[in-house]
Amino acid sequence: MPAVFAALKGMPDLVSPETDRRRALVDAFATAAGRAGYGEVQSPLLEDLGVFLRVGEATDVVTKEMYDFVDKDGTRIALRPEFTASLMRMFVEHPPATLPWKVWTTGPAFRHENPQAGRYRQFFQLDLEAVGAADPDVDVEVIAVAHDFFRSLGLTQVSLKLNSLGDESSREPFMAALRTHFDANRDGLSEQSRITLEKNPLRVLDSKRDYDQAVISSAPQMIDFLSAQTAAHFERVQQGLRAVGIAFTLESRLVRGLDYYTHTLFEFGADALVSSQNAIGGGGHYDNLVEQLGGPSTPGIGFGLGIDRILLACDAEGVFGAPPRMVAVFVVDTTGGSSAVALTHELRRAGIGAERSFDGRSMKAQFKAADRSGAAIALVVGSNEEADGTVVVRDLRASDQVVVPRSDVLAEVQRRLVANPLRLP
């Protein structure tokens, strides 16, 4: 007996119509990003491990979840757990002629997490980055692209949380105050958070463990440590969001799971999802990532949106279903001759979605298949029609039919599809 395999845990197979829906979702994103002047880029799934270590050596993404291994030539490489570090490697390797570099990308990313609804080991992101402009208006532009994209899907229950992590100069006193607070309250911290504290006190704020929450909620807040310059940046972002009518709430404990952020930080939550996996996207500003990857000091801001979770949110809100099938016409042929093959291909060449049955199925079975296909029209060729040089054009919704000469079939189908645009493929 040959071995029977199953897909790896947390790496779901995807099939149509789910795949059609995902393609439509990426198209909607390409439209929203394209309108704001962002062009598509594609980076490889695999990178030198060092690229992703810049995401933060104290983050779960790097310490626990990375799929890394030694390649055949001894290089340590990793499957991307996110896109930003890859794209900044690309930016440094191929410096763009003009700034800001405004790009988006999509594809799978990999994190070795405990799979559950909305959390997978292979998941799909839409990522967008604007690199090389420090203007707070860029932060607004980036957030607005995500916001408009969610709206274009029909989602209405998406909330935006906003915070600022300040710059280096405001971060240092904040980190010191955080360390003092956590050191003084070590007993109230879980074992894991005490370990995290040694590496990066900021990461402790990201703990979801119940045991830590009392100490976290009494911790100092970044907002009280912002320098005049970072406070002005943050204020300007908020003004901009108000100017474009995007609602947000300030969330001083928002830190997110990656280490490269400075200044603006944001997260989109799907309120229709009750699960703890309701973060459908997040991002922020980063001042040092490009430099850490060997490039010139360059600010950037961007976001990653989780396609899998956005679709769960769409299901919960009952919006953005699978696009209609491409099949407009089903060819039913009981002659066993070449009518079906000829008619089907004539329609397809004319740009009309057409399907047929194979293996000499009965008329009844073919009509069942026609119904299942979602086609609006059936073209029927039996021995009588073949002898007369005609075809029956049957409206599958209204269940009426006409007989037309074979040579007029294409025109008749086109006329019907134009007359009723709902039937257009």
Stretch that binds ligand HAM, among 39-47, 115-123, 209-217, 362-370 (CB under 6 A): 115-123
Give one word for 268, left, alpha or beta, with left for phi > 0 and alpha for psi -120 to 50: beta
Nearer to ligand HAM, 307 or 343 (CB): 307
47 touching ligand HAM, by CB under 6 A: no
Is residue 149 part of the contact set for ligand HAM (CB under 6 A)? no
Cα–Cα distance, 206 to 60 (Å, whole number): 10
**Are 379 and 409 a contacting pair, CB within 8 Å?**
yes
Nearest residue (CB) to ligand HAM, 81 versus 353: 81
Secondary structure of 239-293 in HEC code, one letter for each residue: HHHHHCCCCCEECCCCCCCCCCCCCEEEEEEECCCCCCCCEEEEEEEECCHHHHC
Write down the least CB distance from residue 70 to ligand HAM, Å.
24
Residue 60 near ligand HAM by CB under 6 A: no
303's CB contacts (< 8 A; 6+ apart) are 127, 128, 142, 143, 146, 266, 281, 282, 283, 284
For ligand HAM, the closer of residues 134 and 392 by Cβ is: 134
Answer for which of 119, 179, 194, 416 binds ligand HAM (CB under 6 A) is 119
> Contact between 139 and ligand HAM (CB under 6 A)?
no
User: How many residues at the interface with ligand HAM, by CB under 6 A?
Assistant: 28
Least distance to ligand HAM, CB of residue 61, Å: 7
Minimum gap (Å) between residue 31 Cβ and ligand HAM: 20
In the region spanning residues 221 to 260, those forming contacts with ligand HAM, defined by CB under 6 A, are 256-258
Residue 36 DSSP symbol: T
Residue nearest to ligand HAM (CB): 306
Is position 355 an interface residue for ligand HAM (rule: CB under 6 A)? Answer: no
| Alpha-carbon distances of 62 from 55, 65, 66, 197, 258, rounded to whole Å | 7, 6, 5, 16, 9
Burial category of 192 from C-beta neighbours within 10 Å (exposed 0-12, middle 13-18, buried 19 and up): middle
Helix axes 307-317, 136-153, angle to 10 degrees: 50
Applying CB under 6 A, among 38, 123, 149, 367 the residue interacting with ligand HAM is 123
Q: Which is nearer to ligand HAM, 10 or 374 (CB)?
A: 10
Residue from 21, 54, 111, 394 in contact with ligand HAM (CB under 6 A): 111
In terms of CB distance, is 308 or 317 closer to ligand HAM? 308
Helix/strand/coil (H/E/C) assignment for every residue in 321-379: CCCCCCCCEEEEECCCCCHHHHHHHHHHHCCCCEEECCCCCCHHHHHHHHHHHCCCEEE
Least distance (Å) from ligand HAM to the CB of residue 305?
6
Closest to ligand HAM by CB, 114 vs 217, is 114
Task: Quote the CA–CA distance of 70 and 144 in Å, as a whole number.
Answer: 40
Give the nearer residue to ligand HAM in terms of CB position, either 220 or 283: 283
Q: Which stretch binds ligand HAM (CB under 6 A): 77-85, 206-214, 356-364, 381-389?
A: 77-85
Q: Where are the beta strands (DSSP E) in 132-254?
A: 158-164, 249-250
Task: Report the residue number, 270 or 354, with the smaller CB distance to ligand HAM.
Answer: 270
Cβ proximity to ligand HAM, 300 vs 353, nearer residue = 300
d(CA 12, CA 35): 32
CB of 300 to ligand HAM, least distance (A): 7
The answer to whether the CB of 351 falls within 8 A of the CB of 410 is no
Residues 266-305 that bind ligand HAM (CB under 6 A): 279-284, 302-305
Length of the chain measured in residues: 425
User: Where do contacts with ligand HAM occur on this chain (CB under 6 A)?
Assistant: 82-84, 111, 113, 118-120, 123, 125, 127, 129, 256-258, 279-284, 302-306, 308-309
